[in-house]
């Protein structure tokens, strides 16, 4: 199911909630962030079902290398967005997700290039049913028992979020109604691990743009840290102490340098005698998760055509990939 949750997040949904914020005041002054965190952990432990809607948007702005006379007019914009609606039955070992992705490429002097895709995923016990954009179903069977896959809260994303909050420093900054639920609004202070994740995110973007391992990028950590801005907010129901919304934003600038690449003759990685500096890249990533339907009955069942799909085991996939 961890694989499923990764799929959910990569194709992940948007839910906007009209809300009226108020600053801490009156009874709000007595709120204790530590007590809230403890209640969140307790509430997430015994959860049976929940719905999750998620959205992700990433925007890259690629500037021409310094020294280019037309650099100010030579900006390429790459936008990627994904939305997902998921329902998870922890007690019944079932989950369902429907997602879509959209990509846009804007280059100076060229028509805008767009593409999109859709997918549907069911996780039933130890079987994963996936429908691609063409409507074809594939069934992946995990050799492990369903109890091993789902046990000990492995698929409880609410619990994972609660544990993350519990390990972080948080501050109560107000309250809002999310999907009609009166919720505490907390700000999460970034820890040292966030800067490690920042570097990994930046390297991942640079690696994708340079077609790693064809070319190997290097990133200036000082430039990255000085330009980065990050914010994480979490809303907690005042009644159930379960999360109602999680929101994060991250932006940074970097100027990658290509320091090496793959030798086409030997297939080995080599370091270039002279590095090549790319143009500045501005990155902005925003994600939103909205949680609803806690402990409400869910009807999750794959369609008949999915159940008829031929089963594929991980060993078959490995053999096919190495053939």
Q: What is the pLDDT of residues 6-27, one digit of tens each?
A: 333 333 332 323 333 443 443 4
What is residue 22's predicted lDDT score, i.e. its pLDDT? 45
Stretch 152-172: mean pLDDT, rounded? 91
Alpha helices, DSSP H, located in the chain: 2-10, 33-45, 146-150, 157-166, 192-209, 221-227, 304-307, 314-322
Phi, psi of 147 (to 5 degrees): -60, -35
pLDDT at 320 over 60: no
What is residue 133's predicted lDDT score, i.e. its pLDDT? 85
Q: Rounded to whole angstroms, how far apart are CA atoms 230 and 249? A: 6
Number of domains in the chain: 1
| Between 155 and 139, the higher pLDDT residue | 139
- Using DSSP, state whether 295 is helix, strand or coil: coil
**28 beta partners:** none
Is residue 176 within 8 A of residue 20, CB to CB? The reply is yes
Task: Give 152-195 as a DSSP string.
Answer: GGTT-HHHHHHHHHHTSEEEEEEEEEETTEEEEEEEEEP-HHHH
Q: Rounded to whole angstroms, how far apart are CA atoms 129 and 11? A: 15
Q: Which of 195, 163, 126 has its CA nearest to residue 45? A: 163
pTM for this predicted structure: 0.83
What is residue 287's predicted lDDT score, i.e. its pLDDT? 98
Q: Rounded to whole angstroms, how far apart are CA atoms 323 and 300? A: 36
What is residue 104's predicted lDDT score, i.e. its pLDDT? 97
Q: Rounded to whole angstroms, how far apart are CA atoms 179 and 195? A: 32
| Between 300 and 155, the higher pLDDT residue | 300
| Between 73 and 214, the higher pLDDT residue | 214
What CATH number is attached to the domain comprising 148? Answer: 2.50.20.20
What is residue 14's predicted lDDT score, i.e. its pLDDT? 28
Residue ranges making up the domain that contains 31: 2-322
Tens of pLDDT, residue by residue over 188-234, are 998 878 888 999 999 999 999 999 999 999 999 999 999 999 999 99
**63 beta partners:** 75
What is residue 153's predicted lDDT score, i.e. its pLDDT? 81
Stretch 51-62: mean pLDDT, rounded? 97
pLDDT at 319 over 50: no
Q: Which of 306, 3, 316, 298 has its CA nearest to residue 149? A: 3
Per the structure block, which two tokens stand in for 85?
């609606």
Stretch 56-79: mean pLDDT, rounded? 82
pLDDT above 90 covers what percent of the chain? 76
Q: Rounded to whole angstroms, how far apart are CA atoms 204 and 220? A: 14
Residue 287 CA, distance from chain mean position: 7
What is Dmax (Cα atoms) for the chain?
72
pLDDT at 160 over 60: yes
Tens of pLDDT, residue by residue over 251-294, are 999 999 999 999 989 999 999 999 999 999 999 999 999 999 99
- Angle at CA 285, nearest 5°, toward 282 and 290? 170
Per the structure block, which two tokens stand in for 20?
């009226």
Q: Rounded to whole angstroms, how far apart are CA atoms 166 and 37? A: 5
Task: Give 47-94 as a DSSP string.
Answer: --EEEEEEEEEEEEEEEPPTT-TTGGG-EEEEEEEEEEEEEEETTTTE
Q: Rounded to whole angstroms, how far apart are CA atoms 54 and 29? A: 31
């Amino acid at each position: 199911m961890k694989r499923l949750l990764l799929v959910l997040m990569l194709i992940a949904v948007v839910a906007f909630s009209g809300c009226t914020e108020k600053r801490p005041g009156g009874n709000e002054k007595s709120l204790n962030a530590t007590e809230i965190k403890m209640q969140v952990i307790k509430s997430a432990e015994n959860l049976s079902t929940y719905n999750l809607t998620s959205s992700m948007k990433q925007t890259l702005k690629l500037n021409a290398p310094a020294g280019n006379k037309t650099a100010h007019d030579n900006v390429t914009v790459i936008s990627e967005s994904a939305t997902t609606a998921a329902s998870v039955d922890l007690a019944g070992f079932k989950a369902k997700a429907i997602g879509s992705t959209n990509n846009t490429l804007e280059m100076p002097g060229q028509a805008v290039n767009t593409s999109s895709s859709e997918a549907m995923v069911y996780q039933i016990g130890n079987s994963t049913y996936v429908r691609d954009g063409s409507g074809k179903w594939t069934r992946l069977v995990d050799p492990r028992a369903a109890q091993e896959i789902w046990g000990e809260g492995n698929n409880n994303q609410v619990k994972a979020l609660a544990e993350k909050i519990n390990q972080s420093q948080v501050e109560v900054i107000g309250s809002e109604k999310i999907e009609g639920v009166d919720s505490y609004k907390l700000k999460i202070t970034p820890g040292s691990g966030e800067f490690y994740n920042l570097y990994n995110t930046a390297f991942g973007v640079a690696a994708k743009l340079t077609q790693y391992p064809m070319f190997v990028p290097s990133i200036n950590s000082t430039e990255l840290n000085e330009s980065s801005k990050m914010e994480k907010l979490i809303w907690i129901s005042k009644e159930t102490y379960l999360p109602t919304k999680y929101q994060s934003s991250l932006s940074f600038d970097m100027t990658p340098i290509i320091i090496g690449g793959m030798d086409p003759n030997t297939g080995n990685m080599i370091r270039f005698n002279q590095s090549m500096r790319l143009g500045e890249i501005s990155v902005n990533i925003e994600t939103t998760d909205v949680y609803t339907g806690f402990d409400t009955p869910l009807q999750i069942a794959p369609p008949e055509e999915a159940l008829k799909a031929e089963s594929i085991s991980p060993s078959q996939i490995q053999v096919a990939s190495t053939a």
